[in-house]
Structure 1
Amino acid sequence: MMFRNVRDFLRRKYVPSRSPSVVAMETPVFPPEIFELIIDCVASEVLRSCALVCRSWLLCARRNIFRIVSLHEHKNKGAFEDSEGVARLHLRWNRVRVVDLASLIQDISIAWQFAGTLVPLASSFIRLRRLKLYSSDAAYRSPGALEIRSASQLLRAPPISHLEISTSYFETFRLFLSLWDTSYPSLKHLKISLISIQDMHSRFRSVIIDQANEIMRSYDTANVREHTMLESFELWENMPCASAIAVFLLHPNCPIRISTLKALKLHSDPITGQGLASIFVPVLPSSLTNLAISCSESQDDLCLNSQRLPGLRRLTLTVVLAAEGLLGVINRLQLEHLTLTIRRPWEGHDWERWHALDLCLARCLIRQVDVESMRAGDLKSLMPLSAECNNIRWVTCS
């Protein structure tokens, strides 16, 4: 649906018959058809169209329409919108008295090189809570010191509580650390996914850990006045640099503290992952209620007990384990929700062990067990798992 049709739709359906324009509407109504058009990305052209089309109901709908602002690659031109184009967008806001909408924006998804364009308006983003930073698709451009400084200014101005760093390429580990040279007291949730650090790209995890420890020993945090206390942390550990990030978070010089974590999610696969669960699990705080990890056959990652994690209620496991390892975890923890992803083609002689796990699940207090099947063969061989336990819900991965 084109905006010309939307304007006609508004005049035809939402404007009284004698009303000369949309402005004459007495009770502005937010049309769901418009909301479906503008859900994720709001670019400059859409903002201009909204200002012209919406008119009177713009005031009541602006919270939904301008919830996410995304500056991204222009698909038609094959180039990115430059700073001048963004500046014209800000001028347009001023001209139509829409600059106040900045105070209602709650989410911003923006490339590193565009972060500086929003710094002049940073003080106006009083309700901004979520910020996503990523590298552009053009030659996978890496953020430099200037872009990181602009992102830091944007993080400090409004009370941002959620930060996501995704699809980003950093030339050095020190450049990544420079983002944390200042305090972010309001930041509570951090997600790092699909990033690459050039000097932390060894095939051997021990080499990366040694290099990261050497850099962290000289990491200066004198400018950090207050530590960032995270409540949730998500890390995609199927990246060589994930081990370096783990060293950063657990090092005494790190300005980020995980002692108040309530949720830790290590998105990984037990076969291809970096095995970071064995690093994080021993230092998990007692405040943790939600844990998502991947476990290898060594079972070292499953050293979880209810005395050290009394509040743990939700556990997500991606496992390459026999049933005995899971039995030990279930017997030690008072869980409410368990999610299992099986990463192994089970053979027939394992069915009896899984039947024992089935009986254990039937007796325990877990309210819901989700079993995600990775392959059709796994689903067929795991069918006995639902014989005794009536709280198992099969979740088929698409």
Structure 2
Amino acid sequence: MKRWMIVLFFGLVLPGLIFSGGAKEQKAEVKTVRFWYHFDNPETSVKPLIEKFERENPGIKIQAEMVAWDAYFQKLLTSIAGGNPPDVSQIKLWWQPQLVEMKALAPLDDYIAKWPGRTDVYEKIWELTRHTDGKQYLMPLQMVILYLYYRADMFKELGLKVPTTREEFLDVAKKLTRDTNGDGQIDVYGFGIRGGRGGHDYWGTFVLSSGAEIITKEGKSGLTTPEAIAANQWYIDLFRVHKVSPPTTPTDGFNEVIANMKSGKTAMTIHHLGSSKGLVDVLGDRISAAPVPRGTKGAWTSFGDEENGVLAASKVKDEAFKWCAFLATAENNALWQKSSGQISINKSNGQTKEAQENRFMKASVDSTPFAGVLPAHPKVAEFVESVWPATMQRAFLGQITSEQMMKIFEEHFFGKK
């Protein structure tokens, strides 16, 4: 009888124990988080950070894909439309309104509320990245604030001071624009303007600080007021009237603008910390930085940014946020910035000796109080990607007036009257 009871026990109980063990193994199954990202330098790798994360989180694997910048947003939209987006993607702030309207991003408020590192992120970043519906869809990754690059050696040679107002800026730009070898041809231009894609930041520095607003606090257009049109005309005149920028200005992009600074063809331009290493490698102490000059209504510079977003379609949202939080934690964020060349989002990293002594980082931090973003509007992404560069080029070429240019922008956001 006892023998039969033992057999019955093993026959009924043991399979259950085996099955239970199998269930535990299933629960321990590794989750994969697909991550899309971008670095200006395609040779830069996130492998060390991924390896560190996976050691600390053995149940999660990160499948990373570097995406070319020129195709990034379109590729992301295509992946969303096709139902196969990544779990986590770097997101530009001006993409957010369109992606939220598409219901493509998952709200992260509940995750962030429980994340211990939240208070070490600059409050200004939370403020700027929070969507107009009051929700937080983006996890901060890197801070990019634009400032003025200038050739310190040329300023010293001509006895010039770094401009702090737009009037001083124009005066300095004219003096820096000169024929250096007496052949009757301009060899150095005072200011390198980015007339192509991405140049809206340069435009904003001078136009949005001098009376123009894309959308007012009342939700109306602030683009076609006399003040706004005059501010835009002032910017157009830098190229067309004062000729302080190269003839190639209407089509110059990032590569051309930076190459002109390196070669000495231009004496000033606007960009961020990401360009500092390449410029220093060529120019050393001859290149320096300062906050952009003030306009007639104060100062404005672009809070360029990249955050991480968890896609709404992700089936591994918990793991995806864990990866985002890992990258936003001070120690790991400092490692990310060594690869990206940008500024850490963490207060604690901003207090390091290196951050305090680096002239480019100082220009960034000093510009934080007046750093701004374009309005959270579904049409901002299209404005930046195509409407602004195409319209700015036409104005630089004299094909349209300042007023016509601003009306095109107004119609883009508000429709035809």
TM range (shorter): under 0.3
Query: Comparing both chains, which one has the higher relative contact order based on Cα–Cα distances under 8 Å and sequence gaps of 6 or more?
Result: 2
TM-score relative to the length of structure 2: 0.21
* Higher helix content, 1 or 2: 2
* Higher strand content, 1 or 2: 1
